Amino acid sequence: MKLPVINITGKAAGEVEFADELLIKTGKGSQAVHDAVVAYMANQRLGTAKTKQMGEVAGSGKKPWKQKGTGRARAGSFQSPLWKGGAITFGPQPRDYSKKINKQTKSLAFRKVLSERLLAGDVVVLDDLKLDSPKTKGVAALLAKVAPKASVLIVAESVDNNLKLASRNLPDVQVEPADAVNVYELLRFDKIVATKGALAKLQARVAKA
């Protein structure tokens, strides 16, 4: 599969090859993508929500009033969930939401998603993305040409400080090194802008799958 390459000014700068045998053109891998996204989203959850149980609510152990003879309902604790300021019945407690998927499933999901984005024409390839200064307007001007009014994932061979600073104030734009980009990020954005070096690294990751 041949992909057109452009330079930072938006002009054509040749073509780059992506091995056809590495692309998944069938329905294979859809479940792996689902599993990978669910696992990623679950792993982002902190699981720190917590309410106090009766032993943790401030209050004495004294019985509010005697058991009989008052005409009032029986009460044994100021910390009762029935009382204002008391414990919470069946409230959340700290827990681990993380999910694990095996390496084969993760690799298949990555290959499937990258294949679909490439075949759909959602990947724009740049010959290079070196910035002389951390100026946001340079990156904004480039994205206005290659992906106007779209959310963009920029995949670079390596992310330098200039690129990081220049892109951080742009809404719906995220920069990731090719070694770290994941399935969820490949799916989330309308367009993927990758350098030639980054695409080579992505191809190498897929080839190992």
Could you tell me the mean pLDDT of each successive run of 10 residues in the chain, 209 residues long?
88 90 91 97 96 93 94 95 94 96 95 95 92 89 89 93 92 94 96 94 89
Residue from 159, 156, 153 nearest 198 by CA: 156
**What does the alpha-carbon distance between residue 53 and residue 41 come to, in Å, rounded to a whole number?**
29
Look at residue 67 in the predicted model and tell me its pLDDT. Answer: 96
**What does the alpha-carbon distance between residue 70 and residue 3 come to, in Å, rounded to a whole number?**
85
Location of each CATH 3.40.1370.10 domain in the chain: 2-45+100-208
Query: Under CATH, domain 2-45+100-208 is a member of which superfamily?
Result: Ribosomal protein L4/L1 (3.40.1370.10)
Look at residue 64 in the predicted model and tell me its pLDDT. Answer: 94
| Sheet with strand 191-195: strands edge to edge | 12-17, 2-6, 123-126, 191-195, 152-156, 173-177
Look at residue 209 in the predicted model and tell me its pLDDT. Answer: 65
